[in-house]
Each structure stands twice: as structure tokens, then as C-alpha cells.
Amino acid sequence: MHTRTLRIGTRTSPLALKQVDEVVGKLRVFYPEITVKIIGIDTYGDKDKTIPISAMEGTDFFTREIEDALLRGEIDCAVHSAKDLPDRIPDGLHLAAITRCLDPYDALISKHHRRLEELPSCSRIGASSERRKRQLRLYRDDLKLLDIRGTIGERLRKLDETDLDAIVLAACGLLRLGLEERITQKIPFEILRPHPLQGSLAVEVREDDRKLIALFSGIDSREVLLA
């Protein structure tokens, strides 16, 4: 059992903090007495909101500073959205857990509660990833797809306060923030296939920290998924 206070590194957005709460809740099923200290870290992706997400997919855009803090020993573990993980985990780190998916769907949030098929031609849709934009173009090439950045709250405000007609977000983020009433439609997989890790959370530790690797094994869903 891990006896010291567990220092958890995370981004500072409301969603990131909810994700840490979710991981801690899962841990306390096995270790109800565990104590934690949450350490917020702004990443390059949080500081620079001008670069399109589509240009940074597969990189450490949202993890670099947190992983650096973990390697320096300033935190004991890091919690990320699993789909934000870089294609290559840095040397010295270990992926200790991938949690069960909360909800894999992408969600449409639209003005006037129009579903994707009901949106007028040339509607302006905010989307972050190239994956989403590419698949939406295949379904409806008459829509105008625009880059959108920011926290979930910031993106919702852009929809409410600008000429956007709709935005596409991961349903899991809205659920974690208690904003499921904003969802107009969970987009069917045959239209929009989500990132394979969407809805799951990832926990990184140092590769030589055997105690933490064992601690997080109880919330790791990877063996279940492969069974």
C-alpha cells in the first residue's frame, strides 16, 4: 500500500480536475484511506491556443510539461485524457493504467437543437481534430468546418456568442462536467468514428516506481479490454 500523500499532476482546466477526481474515486475503492495532493500544471497546449489541434495530434502538446515534472520527481503520477497521450511515451515513464471508457461518442451541440442531418447547408461547425473534420466532410460536404480551441466552457461560449451554428465535442467531457443537457445528438459511429481511447483516462508514473505501478493496476482496464 502507498502510504505517503500521492502527488498527482494534471492540467488545470475544470475537465482535467474532474478527471483526477474520477481516478482518485476509482483508487479509493481499493484504498479508501489514500490521501492525494493535486498539482496543476499548464502545458504548452494550454498556453498557446492559436495552433490548430489538427496540427499537433499524436504529439506531447498537452502532456509535455506534466511529463517533465514527473521525470524530475516533482509529482508522483500524471493523469491525462487518454487520447491526449503522445504516440511515444518518454523514456523513464510507464503507462500504469488506462481506465474504462465513460462514453466513446462524439457529440453535436447545436443552436436550435438541430441534429447533424437537419443543419442547413453551409452551416458553420466548430471542430478541433482533423479526424472529426475529415469524417464530417465525407458525410456532408456542404458544411463549413472551422477550427475551435479552448476548454469545454470556452467552446460552448463561442457557440452561444458567435455565428457558429454547432460544435462537436467528446460526449465524455460534457458528462464529466455535468453538461449532458447541452448535447443535441450523440453522432452515430457510422458517421463519426471517435478516437479509440476517447472516454478513457491515462495514468503515467516513473518506470522504476514499482509500488505505484502495483497501486494503479486495480484500475487498469487494458487486460479486460483484451479479454
Residues 100-113: pLDDT tens digits? 999 999 999 999 99
Mean pLDDT value across residues 73-95: 94
* Catalytic residue of the set 84, 103, 165, 220: 84
Nearest to 119 by CA among 137, 140, 134: 140
Residue 226, pLDDT above cutoff 50: no
Signed CA dihedral, 162, 107, 27, 11: sign only: negative
Fold held by 109-186:
D-Maltodextrin-Binding Protein; domain 2 (3.40.190)
Report residue 126 as a C-alpha cell: 466548430
CA distance 155 to 169: 9
Whole-prediction pTM? 0.89
- Give the model's pLDDT for residue 69: 96
Mean pLDDT value across residues 57-83: 90
Positions of CATH 3.40.190.10 in the chain: 6-100+200-226, 109-186
Nearest to 43 by CA among 76, 70, 5: 70
Instruction: State the DSSP code for 163.
Output: S
Q: How far is CA 74 from CA 6, 64, 149, 158, in A?
A: 11, 14, 29, 36
Residue 207, pLDDT above cutoff 90: yes
**Annotated catalytic, 84?**
yes
CA distance 101 to 71: 27
Q: How far is CA 7 from CA 34, 39, 69, 105, 137, in A?
A: 11, 7, 11, 31, 43
| Phi and psi angles of residue 110, each rounded to the nearest 5 degrees, phi first | -130, 155
The angle subtended at Cα 216 by Cα 210 and Cα 217, nearest 5°, is: 85
Its CATH class, for the domain covering 6-100+200-226, is alpha beta
List pLDDT tens digits, range 135-159.
999 999 999 999 998 899 999 999 9
The pLDDT confidence band at residue 227, using thresholds 50, 70 and 90, is very low
